[in-house]
Structures are given as structure tokens and as C-alpha cells.
Structure 1
Amino acid sequence: MDWLQVVILALVQGITEFLPVSSSAHLILVPVLTEWQDQGLAFDVALHLGSLLAVVLYFRTELMAMTGSWFRSLQTRKPDADARLAWAVLLGTIPVGLAGLAFKDTIETVLRSPLYLAAGLIVFGVALAWADLRHRGSRTEYQMTWKDVLIIGCAQAVALFPGTSRSGITITAALFMGMNREAASRFSFLLSIPVIVLACALLIKDLAATPEPIQWGAMAAGVLLSGISAYLCIHFFLAFIKRIGMMPFVAYRIILGVILIGVFA
């Protein structure tokens, strides 16, 4: 890879990982539109690692409180609000973990077509708009029921379909459950932590089985740029989401989907 490719891919990953616009769609489209060669597994690991470090750093205070409360709940059997949120993140990850293991090969081959991306962008963009306009409530992530967690977790598994957007579908499901925008987004970002850890583990497993050379300089730059852009994205998204709502992202998804259909149909 040349350095322009490193910078573009890292920024695309960092900016789109936590926005409801599908990072996988953008990472698939970059080489399609630029005719760059595939960036390889090693660089994919670097990009995901940067996003992981960003979300962990941003929510470090909440994560420390959740972790401490979770361990105490194992002893006392009386989980407080932070422990229940930690359990919700863990339980909400199970559906996507099972689905990823079952359908990994199909997702990575059959469903990477630009037209599949366009369908996912448009259909789930409309669902996000419907949830935001008609079902949004005032509940926070600390007021979820276990039914809410199960529904949001199953919705996250649907995000394995390219173009869906993991953050987009989990925010959509949370809004349908009557949560407010900020709470839906925060829980979506917390849910991303174990998912990215699992994704990195699978990528590293696959990487170990290939003789792919590793460009350590590109890897380090990918981690740094992806992490910084992801951190800033989380910060500004949470700061402005109450005011701007979800409609700008819905409009972007639909426009991008229509363009893809026009170019590749």
C-alpha cells in the first residue's frame, strides 16, 4: 500500500465505524472506486484495533465502573445499574457472535456486491428514519429490560449483512424500544467493544494462517489515524445527536445507495 491508501482507509474506518452509515460498505467501496488492491488482513486488524482503542478510551470511566460492579455482582448476586449494563453488553453480543461464526464465509464472499450494499443502505436507512421519527422515547441505557437487550442484540447480528451498519441497526432497535438518541448511541458504542474484539480475534486467526507480509509502518499509522478519527467521531456524534437527529445520516445512506444502484446496476 502507498501512504495515500493508508490514510484514506484509516480515516474512512475511523469516521464510519461509529456513524450509522456502514463502515463495511465504505471499506468495500474504496478499492472498488479507486481500483486499489485489497488492503489485506493485517491492515484490517490495525484499523479495527484503532477503533477499539478509541471507544475504550472515550468510555474509560463508564467501563471501569461497569467492570468493578460486574465483578462485585458475581459475589453478591445483587447487580447494581452499572453491573446490569455490563451484563447487557455481554448478553447483547451473543447473537452476533453466533451469527458471525455461522455465516462468516457467505458474508465475506457472496454478500460483498455493491448492489447488496445499496440495498442494505437504503432499507435500513428507512428503518432508522421510522424509528427516530415515530418510536423514539426518553428511556436511558440504564432502564433497558432484558427483552430490550435481546432485541438489540439480535438486531446487531443483522448488521453482518453489508450496508446495514452495526451502529445504525443497534441504534434503530434501541429507538424502537423507546430509548432516547443519546442513550441508544451510547449503548451501541458500548456494544461495539466485544464485537470489535471478536472481529480482531478472527482476523488475527486468519492472518496467522497466511504468509501475508506485514508493513509495520502502515499498521502503526492505521492504528493511530483510525483511533484518532474514531475518537473525534464519537465525541462530536454524541455532542450533536440530540440537536441534529438521525435524518442527515438517513439522507446520506439513501443518496449513496441510489448512486451505487445507478453505477453498478
Structure 2
Amino acid sequence: MTLFQLFILALIQGITEFLPVSSSAHLILAPYLTGSDDQGALIDVMAHVGTLLAVLLYFRRDVMAVLSGAPALLAGRMTPGGRLFLMVAVATPPAILVGGVLYLTGWVDLLRSPAVIAWATLIFALPLWLADRYGAQVKTSETLTWRDAILIGLAQAIAFIPGVSRSGITMTAGRALALTRSEAARFSMLMSIPLIAVLGLSAIAELATGEMAGVALLDGALVAALSFGSAFLAIAALMAVVERVGFLPFVIYRVLLAGVILIWLI
């Protein structure tokens, strides 16, 4: 792959992974922009490594609280970090289960079409706007209930449809359940950590048994670095935007993107 193609893929992965606009949809559409074939497993893995490092660094205080709270749970003590660990833990299994079924059966490939992306991008923009416009803002991650965490986790399982957006659907669910805008975004991104880690490990396992011919490790390192930088900046921008103006800019972008794809398909 050329440097330009690697640069575009890394930026797309980094910027869209945590914005409510669907990174998978943009990555599927990327070859039409770059004129390249499928980027290969190693590039995908390294892009995810970069975004994972970005969210770990940005939310390092939360991550450290969770890491220190987990051992306290074993000792019978409930700390704020331990409670957050449990909330993320109960929200994660639905997506891993659904994702595992889709990948093992090969059904996930049936969803990778511009038409599916366009309609999913458009349809799921509406509940994001409604939840943000009319949802109360009274809860934080610390006051999230078990029921809330499970419902947000179930919503995350829908995100394997390209165009839905993992961050978008979880933020929608969070706002519908009365999380504040910034807390909905924060919890959504903390939920991404175990999911990205599992997807990355499964991709590495698949890569270890496959072929890496034609893919340079230097290319992978470059993609990881670019994805890390763009993802870190995207997270910071997202937190600032939702705090000041809400999710409307992303809703508008989704509608415009869906319109462009549908017009292109005609």
C-alpha cells in the first residue's frame, strides 16, 4: 500500500472509532476513496491497537481506578472504580456474543454493502437526535444502574451492522437512560476498551495462522501511530463538542453521508 493509502486508513480509523458516525462504515467505503484493495489483517490490527492506546491514555484516571478497584472487589470492598468495572463488565458480553456468531458464521460479510451502510447511517441518526434532544441529564457513570448497563450493552450488540456506529448506539442508549451528554460519551468509550481488545486479539490469532505476505511491519507501525494520534484528538474533540452543543452536528453529518451514498448508488 502507498503512504497515502495508509495515511487515509489510519485517519479514518482513528477519527471515526469514537465518534458516533460508524468507523466500520467509513473503513468499508475507504477503498472507493483510496483506490486500494482490502488493507489486510495486519493493518486492521495495528489500527485498532492505535485507537485502543488512545482511549487508554485519554481515560487513564478511569482506567487506573478500574484496575485498582477490581482487586478490591475480590477483597469484598466496593470502590467507585470497582463499581465502574462491574458496569463495563455486564455491558460487554452481548456484543462479544453477537460479534462471535457473526464472524464465525460469515454473516458479517453479508452486511458489508454501501446500501446497508447508507440506510443504517440514516435510520440510527434519528434516535440519536431524539435521545439527545429529549433525554434527561441526571445520571453519571457512578449512578448508572445494573439495568442501565445491561441495556446499553444490548444496544452495543447492534453495532456490528455497518453504519449503526458502536459509539453512536451506546451514546443514544445512554442519553435515553438519562446519562448526561459527557457521561454518555465517557461510558461509551470505556465500554470500547474490552471490545476493541477482544477484537484485536482475535484478529492477531487469525493473523498468526494466515499469511502476511506483502504487508510490511513498518506499515503497521505507521498506521498504529497515526491511528493513535487521530483517535486521541477525536476523543478530545468529541468531549468538547457534546458538552457545548450536544450530538446534533453528528446527526447532521450522518444524514448528509447517507444522502451522498444513496445518490451515488442511484
With the shorter chain as reference, the TM-score category is: over 0.9
Give a deviation string over 1:137-170, Cα, whole Å, max 9, x none. 2211111000000000000000011111100000
Q: In the alignment, which residue of structure 1 is the partner of 2:121?
A: 121
Deviation at 1:256, TM superposition (A): 0.5
Q: In the alignment, which residue of structure 2 is the partner of 1:133?
A: 133
Aligned counterparts, 1:1-265, within 5 A: 1-76=1-76, 78-104=77-103, 105-213=105-213, 214-265=215-266
Give structure 2 stretches of 5+ with no counterpart.
none
Count of residue pairs brought into register by the alignment:
264
- After TM superposition, the structure 1 stretch with the greater mean CA deviation from structure 2, 134-143 or 157-166, is 134-143
SS at 1:28 equivalent? helix
Give the Cα separation in 2 of the matches to 1:177 and 1:231.
27
Give a deviation string over 1:207-265, Cα, whole Å, max 9, x none. 12221223111111101000011011111211231112101100100111111111124
SS at 2:160 equivalent? coil
What letter matches 1:261 in structure 2? Answer: L
Q: Report if aligned partners of 1:46, 1:222 keep a CA contact under 8 Å in 2.
A: yes
Give a deviation string over 1:83-131, Cα, whole Å, max 9, x none. 1111111111110011011112445310000000011101111110010
What letter matches 2:35 in structure 1? Answer: E
Give the Cα separation in 1 of the matches to 2:40 and 2:241.
35
Deviation at 1:136, TM superposition (A): 3.5
Q: Report if aligned partners of 2:14, 2:50 keep a CA contact under 8 Å in 1.
A: yes
- After TM superposition, the structure 1 stretch with the greater mean CA deviation from structure 2, 178-187 or 135-144, is 135-144
Q: Report if aligned partners of 2:19, 2:168 keep a CA contact under 8 Å in 1.
A: yes
Q: Report if aligned partners of 1:107, 1:160 keep a CA contact under 8 Å in 2.
A: no
TM-score normalized by structure 2?
A: 0.96
Taking every aligned residue pair, what percent have the same amino acid on both sides? 41
Give the Cα separation in 2 of the matches to 1:49 and 1:108.
21
TM-score normalized by structure 1?
A: 0.97
What letter matches 1:140 in structure 2? Answer: T
Q: Report if aligned partners of 1:22, 1:166 keep a CA contact under 8 Å in 2.
A: yes
SS at 2:75 equivalent? helix
Give the Cα separation in 1 of the matches to 2:54 and 2:255.
28
Give the Cα separation in 2 of the matches to 1:210 and 1:103.
20
Q: Report if aligned partners of 1:136, 1:181 keep a CA contact under 8 Å in 2.
A: no
SS at 1:142 equivalent? coil
Deviation at 1:45, TM superposition (A): 0.2
Deviation at 1:59, TM superposition (A): 1.0
Deviation at 1:57, TM superposition (A): 0.9
Give the Cα separation in 1 of the matches to 2:169 and 2:107.
17
Q: After the TM superposition, which parts of structure 1 deviate over 6 Å for at least 4 consecutive aligned residues?
A: none
Give structure 1 stretches of 5+ with no counterpart.
none
Give the Cα separation in 2 of the matches to 1:164 and 1:65.
30
Give the Cα separation in 2 of the matches to 1:108 and 1:27.
14
What letter matches 1:225 in structure 2? Answer: L
